[in-house]
Chain A
Amino acid sequence: MTDPELERRLGAAFDAAARASVSDAASPPPARFALEPAGRRRGRWLAPLAAAAAVVAVGASMLALRGGNDKPVPAAGAASVRIQLATAGNQTYGVGMPVVAYFSRRFTSARTLTAATSVTVNGSAAQAAWYFERSANRPGYPVEGHLRLDGFWPARSRVQISVASRDLPAGPGLRFADDVQLSFVTGPAVVAVVDDRTHRMSVTRDGKPIASYPVALGADETPTSRGIKVIMQKDASVCLRGPGFHECGVKYAQQLTYSGEYLHAAPWNLTNIKIGRDTSNGCTNLLPADAAALYKLLTVGDVVEYPDAGGPPMRLASGYGDWNIAWAVWQRGGLIPTT
């Protein structure tokens, strides 16, 4: 075995083990560093300092948490279901952005949660519904819930969400421990469609075509998943790693799934992009100049559709898989009934 091959195997194995044990989506635990006596583990910490630290940590990691972890839940004899909102507030998002929350245990009824949820768009009430799936995206929070309307959010609008669920029952012997508040605005309606037959991505803004780029998708062994995805995160440069590959400095990366499908520049793959041969590990490869233009064009929450890609269908918790579920099905709540 050559040194580079060994090094690649080491990097991939270490990374897989580290990432499998500590998920990317894990929320930071309460900071215990503040004035903690040396050598004392899981000891007392000074609450005000640590709470201040936790607020900074949470804000910076794009979590908008209300009713922090350190607030006592009133003893009521019922086990508490904590709610962590994963969607950051006061941002501008694309029209496909779902509201994502994690729940600390498998609860059995979301009827009260639904009743306690109010959504307004530009001040007018809108009909939104929750849908739940089991999720491994956040340790300690086995249920993931998404809140959305029948269709995409209206473009260029202010969305306000309030869920007054604290102390409401979540099924027999269970109650919610948190409220949720969130507000954000939407930008223009930007939708990209990737055609795996013509190997082109076409982008529209408010219904008008604005750009079209050649792309290469996942190879037969590692196909790109099929369905409607949403930009989850943007990184000017990332390291992409997985079994058998490790590329650092990958430019203009826009994330579409937790498993690591991205839109990105692939300067090593120019010929295959130009002739339309699918060779990637599932990512959508773009010519560098196109990837840079697309990076400027798209915002977190914008929609990217793969109607005919060769991979497995996109699920809710594969990323922001919300738009692959029909509204009639969505309204029933999935894992946890809402009606």
Chain B
Amino acid sequence: MAHTRDADAAVAALFSAHRLHLVRLALLLVDDRETAEDVVQDAFAALHRRWGSIAEPAAAVGYLRTSVVNGSRSVLRRRRTARAYTWPDIDRQPGDGADAGVLVTEEHREVLRALRTLPSRQREVIVLRYWADLPEAQISAMLGISVGAVKSSASRGRDALAAILGGAR
């Protein structure tokens, strides 16, 4: 089955190139590493199943990113009744390893705690805009909402965050 072998190699290459970024994206949208890894694995599994209908790698990356955002939202929805959104990882200090450049400071935690209080649509837009650096048009296509809705979600999310964080400055 030539198609299967092509899909394996192509998806494996994408997995290697984009997994890390996608896990981090998922981690900002859900609340723990394990769930984030699962969401990303599911996105790759779905891509593998649909490989035949995806024309080029550039499109595949967008497909993966959209799958991760949608997958993260489904996880949160499924869980909403069970427990609130928490972020265990941000309170954990890295050990005495060398990676001092990624120390999560109190200021970072404050921003992340504020992010948690946003409705999920605003949180998605804020993360995609200011962490993933995606243009508004692309976020609009990914989330299936208009560019205007992206702008207004970003603006409302920013205002809410500024209101929470501004007081501390």
Interface residues of A (CB under 8 A from B): 1, 3, 6-7, 9-24, 26, 28-29, 31-36, 38-39, 41-42, 49, 52-54, 56-58, 60-61, 134-137, 242-243, 248, 257-260, 315, 317-319
Contacts and interface: CB of A to CB of B under 8 A. Distances in A.
A55 B131 CA distance: 30
Contacts of A3: 158
Contacts of B109: 13
B45 A12 contact: no
Interface of chain A, main secondary structure: mixed
Contacts of B15: 28, 31, 33, 53, 57
A241 to B, nearest CB: 9
A24 B12 contact: no
Given A14-B127, A21-B89, A56-B13, A1 B166 contact: yes
B9 interface: yes
B143 interface: no
B53 interface: no
Given A17-B89, A56-B16, A136 B48 contact: no
Given A9-B165, A22-B33, A56 B12 contact: yes
B75 to A, nearest CB: 11
Interface of chain B, main secondary structure: helix
Interface residues on B, range: 35 or more
Interface string B91-106: 0101111111111110
B20 A24 contact: yes
Contacts of B90: 17, 20
B22 to A, nearest CB: 10
A34 B48 contact: yes
B115 to A, nearest CB: 8
B24 interface: yes
B111 interface: yes
Contact of A248 (B111, B115, B126, B133): B133
Interface stretch (B36-44, B55-63, B134-142, B144-152): B36-44
B108 A16 contact: yes
A284 to B, nearest CB: 15
A230 B106 CA distance: 32
Given A1-B165, A137-B97, 11 more contacts: A9-B107, A16-B104, A18-B27, A20-B102, A26-B20, A32-B45, A33-B47, A35-B45, A53-B12, A61-B16, A248-B133
